[in-house]
């Protein structure tokens, strides 16, 4: 699988990196640790493992999983008035046509 160039957002800062599947290479300065949230192209991720590639504090190899917000949204109350579907009988017991 090829590595794609990406922009990684960590704590409101942008870093250039690379992505191949669910593996990311990001600058050490990004400070990503296990459990850290970050985003790429609008998708949100959580770091599952982080390795200092080459042991030189330059590049981090991060394995991550995408985090999706699948929580249902609360339904908004209708602003339209609700008209009753029940007709009340008038004084002689018949249903009023109005």
38-91 pLDDT per residue, tens: 999 989 999 999 999 888 899 999 999 999 876 666 666 666 666 666 666 666
Strand, coil or helix: 60: strand
**Per-residue pLDDT band at 27 (split at 50, 70, 90):** very high
Using alpha carbons, select from 96, 72, 69, 66 the residue that is nearest to residue 84: 96
Whole-prediction pTM: 0.66
**Per-residue pLDDT band at 98 (split at 50, 70, 90):** low
Whole-angstrom distance, CA of residue 79 vs CA of residue 82 = 9
- Residue 76 is given by DSSP the state P
The burial of 27, by beta-carbon neighbours within 10 Å (0-12 exposed, 13-18 middle, 19 or more buried), is given as middle
* CATH number belonging to the domain at 4-67, selected among 1.10.3470, 2.40.10, 3.10.590, 1.10.10: 2.40.10
């Amino acid at each position: 699988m090829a590595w794609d160039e990406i922009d990684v957002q960590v704590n409101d800062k942008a870093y250039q990196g690379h992505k191949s599947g669910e593996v990311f290479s990001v600058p050490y300065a990004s400070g990503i640790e296990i459990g850290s949230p970050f985003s790429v192209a609008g998708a949100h991720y959580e770091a599952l493992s982080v390795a200092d590639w080459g042991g030189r504090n330059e590049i981090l190899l991060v394995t991550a999983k995408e985090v999706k917000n699948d929580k249902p949204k609360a339904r908004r109350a209708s602003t339209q008035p609700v008209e009753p579907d029940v007709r009340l009988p008038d004084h002689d017991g018949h249903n009023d046509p109005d």
